[in-house]
């Protein structure tokens, strides 16, 4: 069993009295710390669901989500200059998840709907249930570098520009990957070979 360290960003130390340039530095620290707290509260559930879909392990997803926000906290001084903070957070999470998967050589995919705790709903009918299973099987066949942009764009509603920022690739590469991912998904959904 792995240990999970929980970091509560709201209880991080207030270093205002220990700063050299007390007023300006303390205010900047406080503002950036408050921004990290706000971003954590706004995105931690979605980041967890996204990472969980990539790694298919609850404890691992919690660890990677925690690491994402720890990296965000360490880079808090750059936060006010980041134009798209949501994309930046997803880029951190994506990079951490892909690096962890490479280290472990575990490339698995969690079914589309079951990972997102906030969006879990029971299917209305057997037909919906069958459709969900078919979607999950089709998604599981896509390589991670095609699943990630498809998931960010189709499920989370990211624009092409935001996906590009989150994955640190060009807009053209995003469009290409989305096109290929949709084609692979269509073939996999219809029971064809995607290779």
pLDDT digits (tens, 9 = 90+) for 125-157: 566 677 777 887 888 788 888 988 998 998 888
pLDDT score recorded for residue 119:
44
Q: Which residues span the domain enclosing 122?
A: 22-189
Residue 161 lies in a domain: yes
- Cβ-in-10-Å burial (0-12, 13-18, 19+) of 152 comes to buried
Judged against a pLDDT cut of 70, whether residue 75 lies above it is answered with: yes
So what's the pLDDT on residue 64? 96
CATH code of 28's domain: 1.20.140.160
Per the structure, how many domains does the chain have? 1
- Distance between CA 65 and CA 26 in Å, rounded? 28
In a domain, 67, yes or no: yes
Per-residue pLDDT reduced to its tens digit, 163-174: 999 899 999 999
Query: Does some domain include residue 3?
Result: no
Cβ atoms of residues 107 and 44 within 8 Å:
no
Q: How confident is the model at residue 194 (pLDDT cuts 50, 70, 90)?
A: confident
Inside any domain, residue 163 = yes
Asked if residue 151 lies in contact with residue 166, where contact means CB atoms within 8 angstroms, the answer is no
Structure tokens at 57: 């392990």
- Nearest-CA neighbor of 80 among 36, 41, 16? 36
Does residue 9 surpass a pLDDT of 50?
Answer: no
What tokens appear for 188 in the block? Answer: 């996999």
């Amino acid at each position: 069993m792995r240990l999970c360290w929980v970091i509560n960003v709201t209880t991080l130390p207030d270093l205002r009295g220990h700063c050299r340039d007390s007023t300006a530095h303390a205010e900047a620290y406080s503002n950036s710390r408050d921004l990290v707290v706000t971003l954590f509260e706004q995105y931690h559930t979605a980041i967890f669901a996204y990472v969980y879909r990539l790694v298919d392990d609850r404890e691992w997803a919690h660890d990677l989500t925690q690491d994402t926000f720890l990296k965000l906290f360490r880079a808090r001084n750059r936060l006010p200059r980041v134009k798209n903070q949501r994309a930046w957070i997803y880029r951190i999470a994506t990079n951490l998840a892909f690096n962890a998967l490479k280290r472990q050589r575990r490339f698995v995919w969690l079914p589309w709907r079951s990972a997102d705790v906030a969006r879990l709903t029971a299917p209305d009918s057997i037909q919906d249930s069958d459709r969900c299973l078919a979607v999950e099987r089709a998604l599981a066949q896509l390589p991670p570098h095609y699943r990630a942009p498809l998931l960010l764009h189709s499920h989370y509603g990211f624009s092409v520009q935001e996906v590009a920022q989150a994955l640190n690739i060009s807009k053209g590469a995003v469009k290409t990957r989305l096109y290929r991912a949709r084609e692979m998904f269509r073939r996999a959904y219809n029971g064809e070979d995607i290779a």
